[in-house]
Amino acid sequence: MQRAKRLGLIPPYLFGEIAKMKAAAIAEGRDLIDLGIGDPDQPTPANIIDKLTEFSHDPSTHRYDESNMGPTEFLADVAKWFQGRFGVTLDPTCEILELIGSKEGLAHAAWAFIDPGDVALVPDPAYTVVKVNTLLAGGTPYEFPLLAENNFLPDLFAIPGDVVKKAKILYLNYPNNPTGAVATREFFQQAVNFARETGVLILHDCAYSEAGFDDYKAPSIMEIEGAKDVAIEFHSLSKTFNMTGWRIGFAVGSPEALRALNTIKGNVDSKAFAAIALTAGWALNHARNDDAMALLKRRRDVLVDGLNRLGWNLKKPEATFYVWLPVPPGYTSATFAKALLEKADVLSIPGLGYGPHGDGYVRMSLTVSGDKNGEMLEEAVRRIEKNVELKW
Ligand code: MLT
């Protein structure tokens, strides 16, 4: 057997590697506190599960979904939600595309827009899927830095002109994984201006739009005048309603770009289970996940306050599940994550896994299985204080 050469271009999947480390630690009988993957630990709200049962009993959902962009009711539900949530009117016949989760959409977008030799502008650090699929499609990722001093917002106009000339797409992601940063409407306006001036298509990952704390409401790039001409935005129900396993999301925006993405999808997948899509559409307009969000906020407060007592100077993230923690002096992201795991049985993700500018950070996720009210985060802080050398 000979594997395709393109597989040699990509590193092992970050979360697959983390899952292996976790399994090994558990097999050794260690009592791990898992602050690794951002996977909501609370169940999907019961009324969503009931709705799935109802739709699953409709045999018409059991067959192939032969619609073009997704079931009509689902697309209408997304349009309704988008109007209410962001004040943006979407045409459900051409400005919404069902996805099997936003990860699938972000990955296939590279295949829809990147030819060998093309450049994709990729944030550094970033969710690994965007860079990897650029490489698989034969493209060249140009990584632009997200820096703490700029609140992890990029200076797009600082990207060299010769790079921009070769660039076809620009990946953005706010609220941001892994940094927890949020974007302002002014930033989105700049990004739209950049896309208009350069002809680069914006692919905005907005999977964490509903994971906001303290009344923070993330904007959509679609709120910016003209965004629909130069951008598509990816949404997911995974993080909003604890539905990571359900695999359902959608993209909105430029009809032409959505058609291109759908050309890839039509030849690769056969859409989500229609009962899941219909349930997702219903959930957007009827379900709430307030208790889970309140628990995440409590955990955020416990973790950030606790780490600040140990010498950090962290701001509480306004959205996402992530605390992006600068490593103490004397460590790299890898050595600090190793020390946390080996000395304190705390699993975090080394920032280097998200790109070169992630070195110097580890990411801690607030989605901790078994935690009822922040007590496991308190315990994580205690273990770090007791077992990990911190020299400020
Ligand atoms: C993460 O931990 O970054 C995410 O949960 C991964 C994902 O959404 O695929």
- Cβ neighbours of 335 (radius 10 Å): 12
- What pLDDT is attached to residue 12? 80
> What is the Å distance from ligand 1's center to 354 Cα?
11
Residues with CB under 6 A from ligand 1: 37-39, 103, 127, 177
Shortest-distance Cα residue to atom 4 of ligand 1 = 38
Indicate whether 22 pLDDT > 90.
no
Pseudo-torsion of CA 47, 48, 54, 60, nearest 10°? 170
For a ligand 1 pocket test, name from 37, 209, 237, 367 the mutation site with the most ligand atoms within 8 angstroms of its C-beta.
Answer: 37
Side chain identity at residue 323, one-letter code: V
Ordered domains of the chain (ranges, CATH): 5-44+289-387 (3.90.1150.10), 46-286 (3.40.640.10)
Q: State the distance from the centre of ligand 1 to the C-alpha of 103, rounded, in angstroms.
A: 9
User: What φ, ψ does residue 213 adopt, rounded to 5°?
Assistant: -110, 160
**Under a CB-based contact definition with an 8 Å cutoff, are residues 336 and 358 in contact?**
no
Q: Give the residue among 82, 92, 104 at the shortest CA–CA distance from 249.
A: 104
Return d(Cα 392, Cα 378) in angstroms, integer: 21
Q: How confident is the model at residue 17 (pLDDT cuts 50, 70, 90)?
A: confident
Strands of the 361-365 sheet, one edge to the other? 322-326, 361-365, 349-350
100-120: pLDDT as tens digits: 999 999 999 999 999 999 999
Q: What share of the chain is helix, strand, coil (3-state, %, to 5)?
A: 45, 15, 40
- Both tokens of 76, joined, read 């209408």
Choose one of 15, 176, 242 to mutate for the ligand 1 pocket test, by most ligand atoms within 8 angstroms of C-beta. Answer: 15
What single-letter DSSP state applies at residue 212?
A: B
CA distance 348 to 338: 9
Place of tokens 């407060």: 301
pLDDT band at 20 (very low <50, low <70, confident <90, very high): confident
Distance 241 CA to ligand 1 centre (A): 14
Tell me the pLDDT band of 282, cut-offs 50, 70 and 90.
Answer: very high
Q: What is the pLDDT of residues 186-230, one digit of tens each?
A: 999 999 999 999 999 999 999 999 999 999 999 999 999 999 999
